[in-house]
Structure 1
Amino acid sequence: MHPMLNITIRAARKAGNVIIKSYENPASVKVDNKGENDFVTNVDKAAESLIIETIKKAYPDHTIIAKESGITKGSDDDVQWIIDPIDGATNLIKGIPHCCISIAVRLKGKTEVAVVYNPMANELFTATRGQGAQLNGYRIRVNNVKDLENTVLAIGFPYKQKQYSDSYFNVLQKLFTKCADFRRTGSAALDLSYIAAGRIDGLFEIGLKPWNIAAGELILREAGGILTDFAGGNNYMASGNVVAGSPKVVKDFITLTLNDWPDRLKC
């Protein structure tokens, strides 16, 4: 096992224990509003603190980019840990057992190690660059579907960017004539991991953040999938506009929907 993967798994499992205890005791979950439709809980902060503490013990010189506490520069900025302590925090707030810890390790701008862990289901998705993706130690692969016909697609509504609602629902309507069904789970990192495991066939979403994408991207790619922006390019980390799936699903999606997005969302 890659030494940084071992530390990443350890950090994710420690944070997972915090999340499970909070889920079992809903009264202990305290919610703050960071902005419109943007929530943070005491559980996010506690889980993130534990993840950072675990990483820093092993790699004190590395840079950390965390959802709640921001950037902690290390003396070795070539290695960056990108952390989302709870992707799907709204689900936790509502008592829905579907959320995850997402941790990625990037070396000179390329993700080398990734962990997405759903503590409620005890499902650990992992990947190391060039060595494939796994779920609880077993190799996973994307579904080898030819096009959008009969696919099940994960979606995420643009609840923080409602100015794009018309474009979004036009695309959704067009896709609905092609695919079999949609799923809205509330966790992009788990959606990407589910595509990698063949549970769903694709995803599109507007306005994701790097900590939503980084770990799931490597897991997806190591399982044979791809991730692009809405024009088929590589600007998704900056824009947060993501389409993911098998190469054929992504190509079919872009061909079908490219002209439905305003230019500012295509990259």
Structure 2
Amino acid sequence: MAQCQPLLTRLIASSVTVSSQAGKIIRDIFTRGELNIIDKGVNDIQTEADRSAQNCIIESLSRQFPDVTIIGEEGPSRCEVPPEWIITDMDQEVLKIKLPNHLENISPKDVCVWVDPLDGTSEYAQGLINHITVLIGIAVGSKAVGGVIHQPYYESKETSSLGRTMWAIEGVGFGGFKPILPPVGKRIITTTRSHSNKTVQAALDALKPDEILRVGGAGHKVVLLLEGKAHAYIFASRGCKRWDTCAPEAILHAAGGTMTDFWGEKYAYDANTDYLNAKGILATAPGEQHSWYISNIPDEVKQEI
């Protein structure tokens, strides 16, 4: 049945299952306590969990979709991947969905998958495990059209099991969560926990928030928007990359929210684009007036990025 489904449907269905396996790898490594941290640069570290989760995701997806471009944060690896990490199952609920006509017959050469195997590595290394996510974003041409966010440490109140997987496809909808609108009468903004500077703070000050949530991970910040815990996600810096935002943008957009740069322009996600989100990140929750935030960020802040 699966092979009869369109490419995008199969990609999302596979990403849902493989992201869950990546989450298990992340939990297992944390439990063992052997993080094997490598310093990649200023405020940029990599752990054994980053490397292992990416190997799991890329090997699993590339075996099933050999003609699709896959770009991972941690770069290429020559390590042998254990057989139990290679996931070929697909989520059966996703396979049942009906795509809009323009996405039914896309070519593999027009698809780019952006993988952040462990978004929020600094927080993971510090034990702030609820901040982390696994991100798999799917672009067709330059546009983010689908994505998966997996939270390895999300605890279900109904089953007490660990892990939640959120997914979305443009023109179809979303699954794994129910959006909640943020509270009326106040403004809560989420922003970086570990990469703040005077420009980031100036952008926040201009928006006069009632509360600021400083947390790790782009995926986690967008989850806060979807859960009604924040009205906007503001990051007045060049530090974010395409693998940080492709999946969150697709899911947020499918739920009725918006993500752009500080000028209101969408980032491109084709395989040839620059990895750096050089003009900042501005994301707003469903129901929020995105244009208000753009117009109220001072020009000097925009020029400083």
Establish whether TM, by shorter chain, passes 0.5.
Answer: yes
Task: Say yes or no: does 1:183 pair with 2:213.
Answer: yes
Q: Which residue of 1 aligns with 2:172?
A: 131
Q: Which amino acid aligns with 1:15?
A: A
CA–CA distance in structure 1, aligned partners of residues 199 and 189 of structure 2: 18
Paired residues of 2:25 and 2:53 also in contact (CA < 8 A): yes
Q: Which amino acid aligns with 2:245?
A: I
Give the TM-score normalised by structure 1: 0.85
Task: Say yes or no: does 1:102 pair with 2:132.
Answer: no
Distance 1:158-1:264 versus aligned 2 partners, 3 A rule: farther
Give the share of equivalent positions with the same residue, in percent.
23
Give the TM-score normalised by structure 2: 0.75
Q: Which amino acid aligns with 1:261?
A: V
The match for 2:123 among 91, 106, 121 is 91
Q: Which residue of 2 aligns with 1:251?
A: 291
Where structure 2 has 5 or more consecutive residues not aligned to the other structure, the ranges are 78-106, 155-162, 269-275
Task: Say yes or no: does 1:192 pair with 2:227.
Answer: no
Task: Say yes or no: does 1:210 pair with 2:242.
Answer: yes
CA–CA distance in structure 2, aligned partners of residues 89 and 42 of structure 1: 10
Q: Which amino acid aligns with 2:22?
A: A
CA–CA distance in structure 2, aligned partners of residues 223 and 248 of structure 1: 12
Distance 1:262-1:79 versus aligned 2 partners, 3 A rule: closer
Q: Which amino acid aligns with 1:130?
A: G
Paired residues of 2:20 and 2:165 also in contact (CA < 8 A): no
Q: Which amino acid aligns with 1:91?
A: E
CA–CA distance in structure 2, aligned partners of residues 34 and 142 of structure 1: 38
CA–CA distance in structure 2, aligned partners of residues 213 and 94 of structure 1: 23
Paired residues of 2:151 and 2:164 also in contact (CA < 8 A): yes
Q: What is the 5 A alignment of 1:219-230?
A: 219-230=251-262
Where structure 1 has 5 or more consecutive residues not aligned to the other structure, the ranges are none
Instruction: Quote the RMSD (CA, aligned, Å).
Output: 2.4
Distance 1:60-1:70 versus aligned 2 partners, 3 A rule: same
Task: Tell me the matched-pair count.
Answer: 250
Distance 1:254-1:108 versus aligned 2 partners, 3 A rule: closer
Q: Which amino acid aligns with 2:62?
A: K
